[in-house]
Structure formats: structure tokens, C-alpha cells
Amino acid sequence: MKPIIKGLVVCMILMATACKKDTSFEHNGSAPITVDQFTPASGGAGTEVLLYGTNFSKNVSEVSVTVNGVKAYVEGTVEDRILIVIPQKAGSGKIEVTINGRSVASKADFNYLPSSVVSTLAGTGTAGFADGTGRLASFNFNARCGLDVDADGNLFVADPGNRRVRKITPDGTVTTVAGNGNYGYKEGKGEEAEFYLPFDVVTDPTTGNLYVSDPEAWTVRRITPDGTTSRVCWGEAWGLGIDKRNGMVYYANTSSGAIVQVRPDGSTKDIATGFTYPSDVTVDSQGNLYVVEHGKSVIWKLNADTWEPTLIAGQPDVTGLVNGIGAAAKFDMPWAITADRSNNLYIAGNGTWDGSGSNSNQCIRRIAAGTWEVSTYIGGSTAGFADGTGSAALFYAPTGVTVDKNGVVYVLDRNNQRVRKIITE
């Protein structure tokens, strides 16, 4: 709320109280203090919350308020109301009022909503090819490509329009790992290697190897830490996933509708079939797989022990931008998926072939582990470009998403030709 509005609210509280018959109220140090209710019940840092109760003090200097144990700013106080501002990183919990050393807590918890801030890590906004730092680097994201992050916070990005695999260090420095821009299939080191369509990337934390899907070459490729590219297996691989406990690679075959396991010897096995255009797969800390069924706009879980599928979010063939639990939620042609260390899932929303601006999911969705509650993590339904918080941040066809060990989320923002970074307090 703007400062002038805040001031008006405080004045209104004081004026309303001044209109009462008893203008001589003083806090009674022997009588109980109560916190009966507060509004709003939820919000982020900077939210103004009005507390209602009894036996408050008119003297701000006598009043202290905490939210979940974190001190809040008291803007104004009268006999039966206190206006506070929610502090940063408060978390959810009781609101406690202390007056002259006596404390009382609310019965209900305040629901703290942490804010997420989007910034641009790399990319000029225009398709091209250039290594460099931050907005001096350029990409050519002409397909629904993906990215992954390693244990050191380095990003590896599929750049299909440039037929290269790129690396972005935590400070935003972009270099080329493999590929020379030629359209072809060739093994080799660094720029000796050639790709038809480098599409998705996953990293193996144990070996440092990268795995790259190249569906037009019908292969999964491996890039070792020294930059040598070789074939792992044949197969029409699109979205990739990896079990970071053991290095087992999985891929979605969008054409056949299968989820495929790639064994260490390069042999493959279909572990689940019958999906309509599955686009991506990820693996949680327990070895369970999660599949984006792009053609049906739903998300599936494959049990780690049996590969038995369970529909966890969305309604088949029902599209939209609706949050809720399980089947109450709606997606609109989702494309990529990743899991964080707590097994929460993040979905890159717009998987239309051309990155259509009319798609309703120009955002990143989040699915809470276990409860399958779907929320909009960042962005909204409007395509565009803007850094910022919440729905004020704009994306244009996000098709890749990954999250690092610290919970920082990275997004391949296809039609904005940028890689974006999301930090949640």
C-alpha cells in the first residue's frame, strides 16, 4: 500500500475511535488483553494487517507485535485496534501483541505468502548467437527446449537454433560447451561435435556428465566433463529426466507415447506407455517419476517400485489456468517439469509448438509434494517480458524449468530468448 494510503488508514482508525463517547481510555494493566481477530488473514511482506481486540494501548511506544516471532512495524494503535505491517521472511504463525511486558497471541495463524522475484540471468531478447555475460549473450530458442542445473549452480542449456549446448555460470557468463552450429550428427570434443536438434539437457552430479536429447538424430548424447560428445543410445528422445541418486536416465518419446529408461549399457526399456504426447519427465528424491502429458494437459506420477501411473494434477483434455488440488486444477498444454529437494514440482506452462501468446499458462506452476495442491508460482496468463514479483513478472512461452539445491528456480523463456532466475525469500 502506498504511504499516503497507509496514513489515511491510520487516521481513519484514530478518527473512528475519537468519535466514541469515552475519549479518556487508558490501558488497564490489570485487565486481560485480547486479540480477537485480524484481517486480512494472509499476505506477504509489506501487507497491512488490522488487529481487533480489547485493552490495547493508545501509546505506540508501549506496543510491540510479532508475527511468527518476527517483529512487525506498528503503524497505529487505539483501544481496540492495532495496524501493523508484516515483516519480511516472517513465515506463518501466531500474531502476538505485547503491551508493557504482558503478551497475548492470536488463536488463528497468519498465513505468510513469501514473494518470488524474477530477474534476467542471460539473453538479449533477440535470437542470435553470442557468448558473453548476462544480457550480452544471445540464444536461438526456436524449439520447446530445456535446461538443467548442476550441484555448483551452473546451468546447461539446449540451444537448438544454434545447434549448440551452452553453459551459464552463476554470475551469468555464457559459454559454448559443445557444437559448432552445423546441422549434422558428429561425435567429438567441444566444437567438433555436431547436433541436429539439441533439445533437452540433464546433469549427473556423480560423474559430471551431461545428457542431451537430439530427437532429429534419434539419439541421447553424452558430454563428459572434458567436453567430449558421444552417443549413449538410439531413440526418439525429447524431454529428459535423471535419477540423481544413481545416474539412471529417462526420456519422453513424444511420438510413441512412451516413457523410456536408458540403462548404463545403452540398452533401453519402455517403463510406461499409452500417453498422448508426453513431453517431459523428472525424478524425485525417492525415485518416483513424474510425467507431463502434454497432449492431455495433465501430470502423472509413476511409482518408483512398480511404474504404476497415478494422475496427480489436471483434468484430461480440460485446459485453463486454474489452481486447486489434484483434478480441480487446470493446465494449458504444459511442457516441462522439475522437482526440488523437497519433491515439490514445478511446471513450465506453455508448450504450444510456436509458443503462442494466446496460451493461458504464461507462467510457472507449482505442485506441492504429497498434497498435489497446484498454485501459480510466478507469472500469469499474459505473454510479455517483465522482471518483477508475482503476476507482475511476465514470460512468453516458458518451456524449460529447473531448480538448484538452494531452491532458486531457472526458466528458459523461449520467445523472450532469455534465461530467467527466480529467487523466493
Whole-Å CA distances, 213 to 148, 242, 290:
12, 12, 18
Query: What's the pLDDT score for residue 214?
Result: 98
For each of the chain's 425 residues, which pLDDT tens digit applies?
Answer: 443 344 444 545 544 444 444 556 789 988 999 999 999 999 888 899 999 999 999 999 999 999 999 999 999 999 999 999 999 889 999 999 999 999 999 999 999 988 889 999 999 999 999 999 999 999 999 999 999 999 999 999 999 999 999 999 999 999 999 999 999 999 999 999 999 999 999 999 999 999 999 999 999 999 999 999 999 999 999 999 999 999 999 999 999 999 999 998 999 999 999 999 999 999 999 999 999 999 999 999 999 999 999 999 999 999 999 999 999 999 999 999 999 999 999 999 888 888 888 999 999 999 999 999 999 999 999 999 999 888 889 999 999 999 999 999 999 999 999 999 999 88
Name the class of domain 34-112. Answer: mainly beta
Domain boundaries, the chain: 34-112, 116-424
Query: What's the pLDDT score for residue 23?
Result: 55
Query: What's the pLDDT score for residue 389?
Result: 85
Are the CB atoms for 221 and 211 separated by under 8 Å? yes
pTM: 0.83
Query: What's the pLDDT score for residue 2?
Result: 40
Q: What angle do CA 136, 359, 390 make, to 5 degrees?
A: 60
The topology under which CATH files domain 116-424 is Neuraminidase (2.120.10)
Can you give the chain as a three-state secondary structure string? CCHHHHHHHHHHHHHHHHCCCCCCCCCCCCCCCEEEEEECCEECCCCEEEEEEECCCCCHHHEEEEECCEEEEEEEECCCEEEEECCCCCCCEEEEEEECCEEEEEEEEEEECCCEEEEEEECCCCCCCECEEHHHCECCCCCCCCEEECCCCCEEEEEHHHCEEEEECCCCEEEEEECCCCECCECEEHHHCEECCCCEEEECCCCCCEEEEEHHHCEEEEECCCCEEEEEEECCCCCEEEECCCCEEEEEECCCCEEEEECCCCCEEEEECCCCCEEEEEECCCCCEEEEECCCCEEEEECCCCCCEEEEECECCEECCECEEHHHCEECCCCEEEECCCCCEEEECCCCCCCCCCCCCEEEEEECCCCCEEEEEEEECCECCECEEHHHCEECCEEEEEECCCCCEEEEEHHHCEEEEEEEC
